[in-house]
A = this chain, B = another copy of it.
Amino acid sequence: MFVNQLPRYEILSEQALDAIDATWRRLVSEIGVDFQDDGACDIFAKAGQRVEGHRVRLDPEYVLERVAQAPETFDMQARNAARSIRVGGSNMVVASFGGPPFIRRGDKRAEPSLAESSDFVRLCQSFPEIDLVGRVLEPSELPAETRHLDLISMLISLCDKPLVGMGGWRTRSEDAIAMASIVFGGEDRIREKPAIIEAVNPNSPLRFDDRMIGTLLAFAEARQPVLISPWILMGASSPVTTAAALAQGAAESLAGIALVQEVSPGCPVVFGTYISNTDLRSGSPALGTPEAMIATLAAGQFARRFRVPIRIGGDGHTGSQLPDAQAGYEALMAMIPTFLAGGNFVVDTIGWLESGLVSSFEKFAIDIELLRMLEWTFRPLEVNEETLAFDAFEEVGPGGHFFGCQHTLDRFRTCFYEPLLSSRDNLDRWTRKGNPDTASRANDIVTSTLERFEPPPLDDSVREELDAYCERRRREIVASGEIAY
Protein backbone atom coordinates (compact mmCIF):
# COMPACT_ATOMS: atom_id res chain seq x y z
CA MET A 1 0.00 0.00 0.00
CA PHE A 2 1.37 3.36 -0.98
CA VAL A 3 2.17 5.95 1.68
CA ASN A 4 2.36 9.50 0.38
CA GLN A 5 5.36 10.92 2.22
CA LEU A 6 5.82 14.32 0.60
CA PRO A 7 4.25 17.42 2.17
CA ARG A 8 0.76 18.54 1.12
CA TYR A 9 0.65 21.41 -1.34
CA GLU A 10 -1.71 24.07 0.01
CA ILE A 11 -2.98 26.91 -2.12
CA LEU A 12 -5.71 28.52 -0.01
CA SER A 13 -5.43 30.92 2.93
CA GLU A 14 -7.21 30.17 6.21
CA GLN A 15 -9.51 33.07 5.36
CA ALA A 16 -10.48 31.47 2.05
CA LEU A 17 -11.05 28.13 3.76
CA ASP A 18 -13.28 29.84 6.31
CA ALA A 19 -15.31 31.50 3.56
CA ILE A 20 -15.90 28.13 1.87
CA ASP A 21 -16.76 26.69 5.26
CA ALA A 22 -19.35 29.40 5.89
CA THR A 23 -20.94 28.71 2.51
CA TRP A 24 -21.53 24.97 2.89
CA ARG A 25 -23.14 25.77 6.23
CA ARG A 26 -25.54 28.19 4.53
CA LEU A 27 -26.24 25.70 1.74
CA VAL A 28 -27.31 22.87 4.05
CA SER A 29 -29.22 25.11 6.46
CA GLU A 30 -30.79 27.79 4.24
CA ILE A 31 -31.28 26.02 0.91
CA GLY A 32 -31.24 22.43 2.15
CA VAL A 33 -30.59 19.08 0.52
CA ASP A 34 -33.21 16.90 -1.18
CA PHE A 35 -33.30 13.30 0.06
CA GLN A 36 -35.78 11.56 -2.26
CA ASP A 37 -36.58 8.78 0.15
CA ASP A 38 -39.17 8.86 2.92
CA GLY A 39 -37.10 6.68 5.23
CA ALA A 40 -34.11 9.00 5.06
CA CYS A 41 -36.34 12.02 5.66
CA ASP A 42 -37.86 10.32 8.71
CA ILE A 43 -34.40 9.63 10.09
CA PHE A 44 -33.45 13.30 9.79
CA ALA A 45 -36.79 14.45 11.18
CA LYS A 46 -36.33 12.21 14.23
CA ALA A 47 -32.87 13.69 14.67
CA GLY A 48 -34.49 17.11 14.96
CA GLN A 49 -33.71 18.45 11.51
CA ARG A 50 -36.18 20.54 9.53
CA VAL A 51 -37.89 18.40 6.86
CA GLU A 52 -40.44 19.67 4.31
CA GLY A 53 -41.42 17.04 1.74
CA HIS A 54 -38.07 15.63 0.70
CA ARG A 55 -36.20 18.84 1.39
CA VAL A 56 -34.02 18.54 4.48
CA ARG A 57 -32.53 21.63 6.08
CA LEU A 58 -29.65 20.63 8.32
CA ASP A 59 -28.11 22.39 11.27
CA PRO A 60 -24.39 22.59 10.39
CA GLU A 61 -23.38 21.86 13.97
CA TYR A 62 -25.52 18.72 13.90
CA VAL A 63 -23.79 17.70 10.65
CA LEU A 64 -20.35 18.21 12.14
CA GLU A 65 -21.25 16.26 15.28
CA ARG A 66 -22.33 13.32 13.12
CA VAL A 67 -19.20 13.56 10.91
CA ALA A 68 -17.03 13.57 14.04
CA GLN A 69 -18.34 10.07 14.81
CA ALA A 70 -16.66 8.65 11.70
CA PRO A 71 -13.16 7.20 12.11
CA GLU A 72 -10.10 9.05 10.85
CA THR A 73 -8.78 5.83 9.35
CA PHE A 74 -10.25 2.40 8.78
CA ASP A 75 -9.09 -1.03 7.66
CA MET A 76 -10.50 -3.26 4.96
CA GLN A 77 -9.76 -6.93 4.63
CA ALA A 78 -8.86 -8.71 1.43
CA ARG A 79 -9.20 -12.44 0.70
CA ASN A 80 -5.43 -12.36 0.33
CA ALA A 81 -4.48 -10.96 3.73
CA ALA A 82 -1.35 -9.35 2.28
CA ARG A 83 -3.66 -7.13 0.27
CA SER A 84 -5.70 -5.82 3.17
CA ILE A 85 -5.60 -2.04 3.34
CA ARG A 86 -5.82 0.90 5.70
CA VAL A 87 -7.65 3.95 4.38
CA GLY A 88 -6.75 7.42 5.66
CA GLY A 89 -3.76 9.19 7.20
CA SER A 90 -0.94 9.38 4.68
CA ASN A 91 -2.06 6.22 2.92
CA MET A 92 -3.33 6.36 -0.62
CA VAL A 93 -5.29 3.52 -2.13
CA VAL A 94 -6.46 3.28 -5.71
CA ALA A 95 -9.79 1.71 -6.56
CA SER A 96 -10.85 0.66 -10.03
CA PHE A 97 -14.60 0.57 -10.53
CA GLY A 98 -17.45 2.38 -12.19
CA GLY A 99 -16.86 1.17 -15.69
CA PRO A 100 -17.63 3.13 -18.85
CA PRO A 101 -20.36 1.80 -21.17
CA PHE A 102 -17.99 1.39 -24.12
CA ILE A 103 -14.59 0.00 -24.92
CA ARG A 104 -12.14 1.12 -27.56
CA ARG A 105 -10.91 -1.58 -29.91
CA GLY A 106 -8.27 0.00 -32.15
CA ASP A 107 -10.16 2.30 -34.52
CA LYS A 108 -13.62 1.50 -33.18
CA ARG A 109 -15.57 1.84 -30.01
CA ALA A 110 -17.94 -0.95 -29.02
CA GLU A 111 -19.96 -2.37 -26.16
CA PRO A 112 -17.66 -4.48 -23.98
CA SER A 113 -17.89 -8.25 -24.17
CA LEU A 114 -17.87 -10.55 -21.16
CA ALA A 115 -14.35 -11.61 -22.13
CA GLU A 116 -13.15 -8.00 -22.19
CA SER A 117 -14.85 -7.31 -18.90
CA SER A 118 -13.10 -10.20 -17.20
CA ASP A 119 -9.78 -9.27 -18.81
CA PHE A 120 -10.09 -5.84 -17.24
CA VAL A 121 -10.57 -7.46 -13.83
CA ARG A 122 -7.55 -9.69 -14.50
CA LEU A 123 -5.47 -6.58 -15.17
CA CYS A 124 -6.70 -4.90 -11.98
CA GLN A 125 -5.75 -8.01 -10.04
CA SER A 126 -2.30 -8.18 -11.71
CA PHE A 127 -1.00 -4.70 -10.96
CA PRO A 128 -0.13 -3.84 -7.34
CA GLU A 129 -0.85 -0.18 -8.06
CA ILE A 130 -4.57 -1.02 -7.84
CA ASP A 131 -5.77 -1.74 -4.31
CA LEU A 132 -9.53 -2.30 -4.68
CA VAL A 133 -11.58 -3.59 -7.59
CA GLY A 134 -15.25 -3.36 -8.51
CA ARG A 135 -17.38 -3.33 -11.61
CA VAL A 136 -14.89 -2.15 -14.24
CA LEU A 137 -16.79 -2.84 -17.47
CA GLU A 138 -20.41 -3.84 -17.94
CA PRO A 139 -20.79 -6.51 -20.59
CA SER A 140 -24.07 -5.94 -22.42
CA GLU A 141 -24.43 -9.63 -23.28
CA LEU A 142 -25.46 -10.33 -19.66
CA PRO A 143 -29.08 -9.53 -18.67
CA ALA A 144 -29.13 -6.17 -16.91
CA GLU A 145 -31.38 -7.25 -14.01
CA THR A 146 -29.03 -9.96 -12.78
CA ARG A 147 -25.74 -8.71 -14.19
CA HIS A 148 -24.49 -7.55 -10.81
CA LEU A 149 -24.58 -11.17 -9.56
CA ASP A 150 -22.47 -12.34 -12.50
CA LEU A 151 -20.05 -9.49 -12.06
CA ILE A 152 -19.53 -10.05 -8.33
CA SER A 153 -18.98 -13.75 -9.00
CA MET A 154 -16.44 -12.93 -11.66
CA LEU A 155 -14.75 -10.41 -9.39
CA ILE A 156 -14.43 -12.93 -6.57
CA SER A 157 -13.14 -15.58 -8.96
CA LEU A 158 -10.44 -13.42 -10.49
CA CYS A 159 -9.43 -11.04 -7.74
CA ASP A 160 -8.34 -11.31 -4.11
CA LYS A 161 -8.24 -7.60 -3.26
CA PRO A 162 -10.80 -5.64 -1.19
CA LEU A 163 -14.03 -5.20 -3.13
CA VAL A 164 -16.10 -2.29 -4.35
CA GLY A 165 -19.87 -2.66 -4.64
CA MET A 166 -21.90 -2.70 -7.82
CA GLY A 167 -23.65 0.66 -7.53
CA GLY A 168 -27.30 0.66 -8.35
CA TRP A 169 -29.92 0.40 -5.66
CA ARG A 170 -30.66 -1.22 -2.34
CA THR A 171 -31.26 -4.84 -3.37
CA ARG A 172 -28.20 -4.84 -5.59
CA SER A 173 -26.11 -3.53 -2.71
CA GLU A 174 -27.56 -6.14 -0.37
CA ASP A 175 -26.53 -8.82 -2.87
CA ALA A 176 -23.00 -7.45 -3.01
CA ILE A 177 -22.73 -7.41 0.78
CA ALA A 178 -24.25 -10.89 1.10
CA MET A 179 -21.75 -12.32 -1.36
CA ALA A 180 -18.85 -10.61 0.40
CA SER A 181 -20.14 -12.13 3.64
CA ILE A 182 -20.04 -15.59 2.08
CA VAL A 183 -16.43 -15.10 1.02
CA PHE A 184 -15.27 -13.83 4.41
CA GLY A 185 -17.18 -16.29 6.59
CA GLY A 186 -20.34 -14.48 7.49
CA GLU A 187 -21.83 -11.07 8.13
CA ASP A 188 -20.22 -10.71 11.55
CA ARG A 189 -16.75 -11.17 10.08
CA ILE A 190 -17.18 -8.26 7.73
CA ARG A 191 -18.86 -6.13 10.38
CA GLU A 192 -15.69 -6.53 12.45
CA LYS A 193 -13.43 -5.64 9.54
CA PRO A 194 -15.09 -4.39 6.37
CA ALA A 195 -14.48 -6.12 3.05
CA ILE A 196 -16.51 -4.10 0.56
CA ILE A 197 -16.95 -0.37 0.03
CA GLU A 198 -19.51 1.48 -2.03
CA ALA A 199 -19.48 4.88 -3.71
CA VAL A 200 -22.58 7.02 -3.38
CA ASN A 201 -22.77 9.98 -5.76
CA PRO A 202 -25.21 12.73 -4.86
CA ASN A 203 -27.22 13.97 -7.82
CA SER A 204 -25.61 17.37 -7.76
CA PRO A 205 -26.68 19.97 -6.94
CA LEU A 206 -27.82 19.12 -3.43
CA ARG A 207 -29.88 16.01 -4.09
CA PHE A 208 -29.70 12.29 -3.23
CA ASP A 209 -32.08 10.07 -5.21
CA ASP A 210 -33.81 6.96 -3.87
CA ARG A 211 -31.33 4.58 -5.53
CA MET A 212 -28.33 6.28 -3.96
CA ILE A 213 -30.01 6.45 -0.58
CA GLY A 214 -30.92 2.75 -0.80
CA THR A 215 -27.29 1.87 -1.43
CA LEU A 216 -26.10 4.19 1.31
CA LEU A 217 -28.48 2.66 3.86
CA ALA A 218 -27.64 -0.93 2.88
CA PHE A 219 -23.92 -0.33 3.37
CA ALA A 220 -24.34 1.72 6.54
CA GLU A 221 -26.57 -0.93 8.12
CA ALA A 222 -24.04 -3.65 7.26
CA ARG A 223 -21.29 -1.39 8.62
CA GLN A 224 -19.36 -1.43 5.38
CA PRO A 225 -17.60 1.81 4.35
CA VAL A 226 -19.40 4.38 2.26
CA LEU A 227 -17.67 6.89 0.02
CA ILE A 228 -19.88 9.93 -0.46
CA SER A 229 -18.53 11.81 -3.42
CA PRO A 230 -20.30 14.21 -5.70
CA TRP A 231 -19.10 14.28 -9.32
CA ILE A 232 -19.44 17.99 -9.98
CA LEU A 233 -19.14 19.48 -13.44
CA MET A 234 -18.94 23.22 -13.05
CA GLY A 235 -21.34 25.02 -15.35
CA ALA A 236 -23.78 22.10 -15.33
CA SER A 237 -24.18 20.67 -11.84
CA SER A 238 -22.59 23.60 -9.99
CA PRO A 239 -21.85 27.27 -10.60
CA VAL A 240 -18.88 27.93 -12.91
CA THR A 241 -16.69 29.17 -10.06
CA THR A 242 -14.49 26.72 -8.17
CA ALA A 243 -15.13 28.31 -4.77
CA ALA A 244 -18.85 27.61 -5.13
CA ALA A 245 -18.24 24.06 -6.32
CA LEU A 246 -16.02 23.40 -3.29
CA ALA A 247 -18.73 24.60 -0.89
CA GLN A 248 -21.36 22.59 -2.72
CA GLY A 249 -19.24 19.44 -2.74
CA ALA A 250 -18.72 19.75 1.00
CA ALA A 251 -22.43 20.34 1.63
CA GLU A 252 -23.37 17.23 -0.34
CA SER A 253 -20.69 14.96 1.05
CA LEU A 254 -21.20 16.05 4.66
CA ALA A 255 -24.99 15.68 4.40
CA GLY A 256 -24.54 12.12 3.14
CA ILE A 257 -22.02 11.31 5.86
CA ALA A 258 -24.45 12.66 8.47
CA LEU A 259 -27.07 10.17 7.23
CA VAL A 260 -24.58 7.28 7.37
CA GLN A 261 -23.59 8.20 10.94
CA GLU A 262 -27.18 8.65 12.04
CA VAL A 263 -27.96 5.11 10.86
CA SER A 264 -24.71 3.53 11.96
CA PRO A 265 -22.60 5.67 14.31
CA GLY A 266 -18.88 5.13 13.72
CA CYS A 267 -19.39 3.48 10.33
CA PRO A 268 -16.34 4.16 8.15
CA VAL A 269 -16.83 6.80 5.47
CA VAL A 270 -14.78 8.64 2.89
CA PHE A 271 -15.40 12.34 2.30
CA GLY A 272 -15.25 12.94 -1.42
CA THR A 273 -15.33 15.88 -3.78
CA TYR A 274 -14.70 15.54 -7.46
CA ILE A 275 -14.83 18.78 -9.45
CA SER A 276 -14.10 19.43 -13.09
CA ASN A 277 -15.77 21.64 -15.65
CA THR A 278 -18.20 21.35 -18.49
CA ASP A 279 -16.96 22.36 -21.91
CA LEU A 280 -19.43 25.21 -22.40
CA ARG A 281 -19.23 25.02 -26.21
CA SER A 282 -20.33 21.39 -26.41
CA GLY A 283 -21.90 20.79 -23.00
CA SER A 284 -19.61 17.76 -22.57
CA PRO A 285 -17.59 17.02 -19.44
CA ALA A 286 -13.98 18.21 -19.72
CA LEU A 287 -11.52 16.13 -17.67
CA GLY A 288 -7.83 16.52 -16.89
CA THR A 289 -8.25 20.30 -17.13
CA PRO A 290 -6.61 23.21 -15.30
CA GLU A 291 -9.92 23.75 -13.47
CA ALA A 292 -9.87 20.16 -12.22
CA MET A 293 -6.27 20.51 -11.05
CA ILE A 294 -7.00 23.68 -9.06
CA ALA A 295 -10.20 22.21 -7.63
CA THR A 296 -8.41 19.03 -6.59
CA LEU A 297 -5.68 20.95 -4.77
CA ALA A 298 -8.23 23.12 -2.98
CA ALA A 299 -10.61 20.25 -2.21
CA GLY A 300 -7.86 18.23 -0.57
CA GLN A 301 -6.78 21.11 1.59
CA PHE A 302 -10.35 21.92 2.63
CA ALA A 303 -11.36 18.29 3.20
CA ARG A 304 -8.67 17.77 5.85
CA ARG A 305 -10.75 19.94 8.19
CA PHE A 306 -13.21 17.06 8.63
CA ARG A 307 -10.72 14.45 9.84
CA VAL A 308 -11.98 11.53 7.79
CA PRO A 309 -10.29 9.85 4.79
CA ILE A 310 -10.68 11.88 1.62
CA ARG A 311 -11.31 11.21 -2.02
CA ILE A 312 -10.30 14.01 -4.35
CA GLY A 313 -9.39 14.29 -7.98
CA GLY A 314 -8.77 11.07 -9.74
CA ASP A 315 -6.51 9.26 -12.03
CA GLY A 316 -6.22 9.08 -15.70
CA HIS A 317 -9.02 11.50 -16.53
CA THR A 318 -9.00 12.62 -20.12
CA GLY A 319 -11.36 13.75 -22.81
CA SER A 320 -9.17 12.23 -25.50
CA GLN A 321 -10.70 9.71 -27.87
CA LEU A 322 -7.43 7.80 -28.23
CA PRO A 323 -4.53 6.69 -25.99
CA ASP A 324 -2.42 9.49 -27.49
CA ALA A 325 -0.49 12.55 -26.31
CA GLN A 326 -3.61 14.30 -24.97
CA ALA A 327 -4.55 11.18 -23.02
CA GLY A 328 -1.04 11.13 -21.56
CA TYR A 329 -0.88 14.73 -20.43
CA GLU A 330 -4.48 15.03 -19.26
CA ALA A 331 -4.22 11.81 -17.26
CA LEU A 332 -1.12 13.13 -15.49
CA MET A 333 -2.73 16.56 -15.02
CA ALA A 334 -5.47 14.75 -13.08
CA MET A 335 -3.13 12.48 -11.12
CA ILE A 336 -0.49 14.90 -9.91
CA PRO A 337 -2.81 17.14 -7.85
CA THR A 338 -4.34 14.03 -6.28
CA PHE A 339 -0.89 13.22 -4.92
CA LEU A 340 0.02 16.84 -4.13
CA ALA A 341 -3.16 17.36 -2.12
CA GLY A 342 -2.93 14.04 -0.29
CA GLY A 343 -5.93 12.08 -1.56
CA ASN A 344 -6.50 8.90 0.49
CA PHE A 345 -8.90 7.11 -1.78
CA VAL A 346 -8.38 7.43 -5.51
CA VAL A 347 -11.36 6.47 -7.57
CA ASP A 348 -11.76 4.59 -10.78
CA THR A 349 -10.85 6.01 -14.16
CA ILE A 350 -7.95 3.60 -14.75
CA GLY A 351 -8.13 3.07 -18.47
CA TRP A 352 -10.66 5.78 -19.18
CA LEU A 353 -10.90 7.74 -22.41
CA GLU A 354 -13.56 10.16 -23.76
CA SER A 355 -14.34 11.65 -20.33
CA GLY A 356 -15.43 8.29 -18.95
CA LEU A 357 -17.52 7.00 -21.84
CA VAL A 358 -14.87 4.55 -23.02
CA SER A 359 -12.39 2.12 -21.50
CA SER A 360 -9.15 1.26 -23.24
CA PHE A 361 -6.68 -1.52 -22.53
CA GLU A 362 -3.85 0.66 -23.79
CA LYS A 363 -4.86 3.54 -21.56
CA PHE A 364 -4.95 1.10 -18.64
CA ALA A 365 -1.22 0.44 -19.04
CA ILE A 366 -0.55 4.17 -19.45
CA ASP A 367 -2.38 4.94 -16.19
CA ILE A 368 -0.48 2.21 -14.36
CA GLU A 369 2.79 3.74 -15.55
CA LEU A 370 1.70 7.16 -14.28
CA LEU A 371 0.77 5.73 -10.87
CA ARG A 372 4.11 3.95 -10.66
CA MET A 373 6.00 7.14 -11.58
CA LEU A 374 4.17 9.21 -8.99
CA GLU A 375 4.48 6.59 -6.26
CA TRP A 376 8.23 6.72 -6.91
CA THR A 377 8.20 10.52 -6.80
CA PHE A 378 6.17 11.05 -3.62
CA ARG A 379 8.74 9.57 -1.27
CA PRO A 380 10.98 11.64 0.98
CA LEU A 381 14.17 12.89 -0.63
CA GLU A 382 16.97 11.53 1.52
CA VAL A 383 19.62 14.08 2.41
CA ASN A 384 22.39 12.63 4.52
CA GLU A 385 26.09 11.93 4.40
CA GLU A 386 25.63 8.92 2.15
CA THR A 387 23.43 10.63 -0.38
CA LEU A 388 25.53 13.80 -0.37
CA ALA A 389 28.35 11.48 -1.51
CA PHE A 390 31.38 13.63 -0.85
CA ASP A 391 33.53 10.50 -1.17
CA ALA A 392 32.27 9.97 -4.73
CA PHE A 393 33.30 13.50 -5.70
CA GLU A 394 36.74 12.87 -4.21
CA GLU A 395 37.03 9.63 -6.16
CA VAL A 396 35.89 11.08 -9.51
CA GLY A 397 37.13 14.68 -9.40
CA PRO A 398 36.36 17.55 -11.79
CA GLY A 399 35.69 16.50 -15.38
CA GLY A 400 35.33 12.79 -14.63
CA HIS A 401 32.29 10.56 -14.80
CA PHE A 402 30.42 8.56 -12.20
CA PHE A 403 29.49 5.42 -14.13
CA GLY A 404 32.04 3.22 -12.43
CA CYS A 405 32.62 4.83 -9.05
CA GLN A 406 31.94 2.89 -5.87
CA HIS A 407 28.99 5.07 -4.86
CA THR A 408 27.25 4.25 -8.17
CA LEU A 409 28.17 0.56 -8.09
CA ASP A 410 26.62 0.27 -4.63
CA ARG A 411 23.31 1.71 -5.82
CA PHE A 412 22.82 1.35 -9.57
CA ARG A 413 20.30 -1.49 -9.46
CA THR A 414 17.66 0.35 -7.49
CA CYS A 415 18.54 4.03 -7.53
CA PHE A 416 16.34 5.15 -10.43
CA TYR A 417 12.79 4.55 -11.49
CA GLU A 418 12.50 1.71 -14.02
CA PRO A 419 9.70 2.37 -16.50
CA LEU A 420 7.05 -0.21 -17.25
CA LEU A 421 5.94 1.41 -20.49
CA SER A 422 8.09 4.42 -21.36
CA SER A 423 10.74 3.84 -23.99
CA ARG A 424 14.33 4.80 -23.33
CA ASP A 425 15.68 3.00 -26.37
CA ASN A 426 17.95 4.83 -28.75
CA LEU A 427 16.74 5.15 -32.33
CA ASP A 428 18.48 2.01 -33.60
CA ARG A 429 17.13 -0.22 -30.93
CA TRP A 430 13.66 1.29 -31.18
CA THR A 431 13.67 0.89 -34.96
CA ARG A 432 14.69 -2.76 -34.65
CA LYS A 433 11.65 -3.25 -32.42
CA GLY A 434 9.43 -1.90 -35.20
CA ASN A 435 9.04 1.77 -34.13
CA PRO A 436 6.42 1.02 -31.48
CA ASP A 437 4.54 4.02 -30.17
CA THR A 438 3.35 4.16 -26.56
CA ALA A 439 -0.07 2.70 -27.36
CA SER A 440 1.48 -0.23 -29.16
CA ARG A 441 3.84 -0.96 -26.27
CA ALA A 442 0.91 -0.60 -23.87
CA ASN A 443 -0.93 -3.24 -25.84
CA ASP A 444 2.06 -5.59 -25.50
CA ILE A 445 2.10 -5.11 -21.73
CA VAL A 446 -1.60 -5.90 -21.49
CA THR A 447 -1.26 -9.01 -23.66
CA SER A 448 1.69 -10.43 -21.76
CA THR A 449 0.05 -9.66 -18.39
CA LEU A 450 -3.10 -11.53 -19.41
CA GLU A 451 -1.04 -14.47 -20.72
CA ARG A 452 0.69 -14.81 -17.36
CA PHE A 453 -2.50 -14.43 -15.33
CA GLU A 454 -3.43 -17.06 -12.77
CA PRO A 455 -6.61 -16.70 -10.75
CA PRO A 456 -6.19 -16.55 -6.97
CA PRO A 457 -7.32 -19.63 -4.99
CA LEU A 458 -10.92 -19.86 -3.77
CA ASP A 459 -12.34 -22.62 -1.55
CA ASP A 460 -14.72 -24.94 -3.36
CA SER A 461 -17.23 -24.62 -0.54
CA VAL A 462 -17.23 -20.84 -0.88
CA ARG A 463 -17.58 -21.16 -4.63
CA GLU A 464 -20.58 -23.48 -4.20
CA GLU A 465 -22.22 -21.22 -1.66
CA LEU A 466 -21.78 -18.21 -3.94
CA ASP A 467 -23.23 -20.10 -6.90
CA ALA A 468 -26.21 -21.21 -4.85
CA TYR A 469 -26.80 -17.65 -3.68
CA CYS A 470 -26.68 -16.32 -7.23
CA GLU A 471 -28.95 -19.08 -8.47
CA ARG A 472 -31.56 -18.30 -5.87
CA ARG A 473 -31.34 -14.55 -6.40
CA ARG A 474 -31.62 -14.91 -10.18
CA ARG A 475 -34.86 -16.83 -9.76
CA GLU A 476 -36.21 -14.26 -7.30
CA ILE A 477 -35.32 -11.33 -9.51
CA VAL A 478 -36.87 -12.87 -12.62
CA ALA A 479 -40.00 -13.84 -10.66
CA SER A 480 -40.35 -10.31 -9.23
CA GLY A 481 -40.24 -8.77 -12.71
CA GLU A 482 -37.66 -6.26 -11.45
CA ILE A 483 -36.33 -4.05 -14.21
CA ALA A 484 -32.82 -2.61 -14.21
CA TYR A 485 -32.58 1.07 -15.05
Contact = CB atoms under 8 A, between A and B. Distances in A.
Interface stretch (A69-77, A117-125, A368-376): A368-376
Given A12-B383, A294-B381, A333-B373, A277 B324 contact: no
Contact of A388 (B34, B236, B244, B319): B244
A55 interface: yes
A243 B411 contact: no
Nearest to A370: B329
Given A331-B329, A438-B326, A237 B27 contact: no
Contacts of A423: 319-321, 326
Interface stretch (A91-99, A215-223, A389-397, A460-468): A389-397
A381 B12 contact: yes
- Residue of A357, A380, A394, A437 with most chain B CB atoms under a 10 A cut-off: A437
A408 B236 CA distance: 9
- Residue of A11, A203, A394 with most chain B CB atoms under a 10 A cut-off: A11
A362 B139 CA distance: 37
A245 to B, nearest CB: 9
Contact of A321 (B279, B281, B330, B430): B430
Given A242-B387, A279-B416, 16 more contacts: A9-B340, A19-B384, A207-B398, A243-B388, A248-B393, A277-B416, A284-B424, A286-B424, A290-B417, A291-B417, A321-B423, A324-B437, A324-B439, A325-B439, A326-B423, A329-B373
Give the 10 A-B residue pairs with the shortest CB-CB distance, closest first: A328-B328, A325-B328, A206-B398, A328-B329, A16-B383, A244-B389, A325-B438, A241-B387, A243-B387, A239-B389
